[in-house]
Amino acid sequence: RHKFWETQPVGQFKDLGDASLPEGPIEPPTPLSEVKQEPYNLPSPYEWTTCDLDSEDMCNEVYVLLTNNYVEDDENMFRFNYSKEFLRWALHPPGYYKSWHIGVRVKTSKKLVAFITGVPARIRSRDTVVVMAEINFLCVHKKLRSKRLAPVMIKEVTRRVHLENIWQAAYTAGVVLPTPVSTCQYWHRSLNPKKLIDVGFSRLGARMTMSRTIKLYKLPDQTITPGFRKMEPRDVPAVTRLLRSYLKQFVVAPDFDENDVEHWLLPKEDVVDSYLVESPETHEITDFCSFYTLPSSILGNQNYSTLKAAYSYYNVSTKTPWIQLMNDALIVAKRKDFNVFNALDVMHNETFLKELKFGPGDGKLHYYLYNYRINHVLRPSELGLVLL
C-alpha cells in the first residue's frame, strides 16, 4: 500500500495499539561518517538546487512554484498562497540551515519544478526535548506528479538533516500516511460571510437569508478586554515565560526560548500578529493570542482572486476567559480585513470554537513524527504544536 513509507522509520499501521514497543526513537543515530555524502540520484532530466530565500529571484521562483502547485482543498476551489515575506520568515528561524531549503530544477531550462524544506526546532514529547526538523512546503509541479519524485526529495532532506546530526522530524499533511500522532479538524469563523458565500467557501445555512447571516457574524469595532494590546519587543521575556508555562501541559509541544518567541511571535506585518493582555493594575502579562496570515487563491471566480485568511497560532489564557480573549482576536482580524479566521481543535481551542460561531470545515490535518514512536494516538487537545 505505501511502498515508500513502509521502508521508513515511522509508526506503521500494523503496530498501532502495540503499547509494548518503547516510546522514543525508532532507530538509533548512525555515525556521521556513515551518512551518505552525495545527494540522492534524481531522474536524469532533473538536478538539485539549494534555494537562498534572501535572493529576490530565488524567493520569487519558490513563490511562483507554490502559488501554482501547492495545497488545494478537496474540490480544487482554493489553493494556499503563502507570501514571499511569509516564506522568508517561515524558513529563517534561529539556527536555520540553508542546505535544508531544497529545490529541483529541469537541467535544460533551469525551471524550478519541486521544493521541500526543513527548519530546526526543539520539540518536547512528554518529558523529553528532542531537536527535530520541521518539514514543510513539499511540492511537485502539477505536470510532474506521480513520478515518485516525492520519495527522493524526502530521502534527500532526511540526508541533509542527518548531516547536522539531527535524527527526528515533525510534519503535518492533509493526507493519511503511516501513521498519525493525531488527527485534527479545521474550524472556520466567517468574518466576511457575503464574500465567503459568493466564492463558495461557505453556504447560506438552511432558513437563513444573507442579511440574517451578516448579522449573525457581526463583531464590535473595538476589542473589549482592558489592557489588550499588540505585542512589542519588550514583551519577549514575559511572553516566553507565559507560553512556556502554558505549553507544559501538552504531550507534544515546542520548547520555545526567547529567541524563538522573538522570531515566531513578534508581530510582522502581513505575516504574524500577536496581542496580549497587560493587567492595567499590575502590568503583568496574563493572556496572549496570535494568528498568522495565509491567503488562498480563489480558483476560477469572476469577482474575487484571493481569500484573506487568519490562522490561529499560539494562544494562552490565565485571566481573561478564553471566549473573551479569542473574541478580541476575531475583532482585530476583522478590523485588519481578514475574510475568515481558521483554527484547529488543538490545545484549548475546543473551549471557544462553538461559542464564537466557528463551524467545522471539510479539511483535516494529520500530525506526524519521523523516527519517534508515540504509543497512543493523541487527542487534538493533547497537542501543543502548530506548524505553518
Least distance from ligand MYA to the Cβ atom of residue 104, Å: 11
| Burial label, 303 (beta-carbon count in 10 A; 0-12, 13-18, 19+) | exposed
Q: Name 341's bridge partners.
A: 189, 310
Q: Are strands 316-317 and 285-293 parallel, antiparallel or unpaired?
A: antiparallel
Closest CA to 140 of 151, 132, 129: 151
> Does the protein bind ligand MYA through residue 370 (CB under 6 A)?
yes
Q: Per CB under 6 A, which region of 56-64, 71-79, 270-278, 330-338 contacts ligand JJ1?
A: 71-79
**Site mask, ligand MYA, residues 175-204, x = CB under 6 A?**
x-x---------------------------
Beta strands (DSSP E) in the chain are: 46-50, 78-80, 101-106, 112-125, 128-140, 168-173, 182-190, 228-230, 252-254, 272-278, 285-293, 296-298, 306-307, 309-312, 316-317, 340-344, 359-370
Binders in 48-87 for ligand MYA, by CB under 6 A: 69-71
From the list ligand MYA, ligand JJ1, none, partner contacted by residue 201 (C-beta under 5 to 8 A by kind)? ligand JJ1
Main-chain dihedrals φ then ψ at residue 151, nearest 5 degrees: -60, -40
Of 18-26, 41-49, 184-192, 264-272, the window that binds ligand JJ1 (rule: CB under 6 A) is: 184-192
Q: Contact region for ligand JJ1 (CB under 6 A) — 43-51, 99-107, 144-152, 185-193? A: 185-193
Choosing from 105, 160, 188, 308, the residue that interacts with ligand JJ1 (CB under 6 A) is 188
Strand duo 309-312 + 340-344: pairing: parallel
**Would you count residue 169 as binding ligand MYA (CB under 6 A)?**
yes
193, 340 in Cβ contact below 8 A? Answer: no
CB neighbour list of residue 283: distance below 8 Å, 6 or more residues apart: none
Residue from 42, 77, 106, 299 that binds ligand JJ1 (CB under 6 A)? 77
Considering only residues 112 to 151 of the shown chain, the ones binding ligand MYA according to CB under 6 A are: 133, 135-140, 145-151
Beta strand ranges found along 200-245 (DSSP E): 228-230
Smallest distance, Å, CB 268 to ligand MYA?
22
388 in active site: yes
Spell out, one character per residue from 151 to 180, where the chain touches ligand JJ1: x when CB under 6 A holds, - when not.
---------------------xxx------
The rounded distance, in Å, linking the Cα atoms of 171 and 252 is: 13
Binding residues for ligand MYA, rule: CB under 6 A, are: 2-5, 69-71, 133, 135-140, 145-151, 154, 157-158, 161, 167-169, 171, 173, 175, 177, 370-371
Catalytic annotation, residues:
388
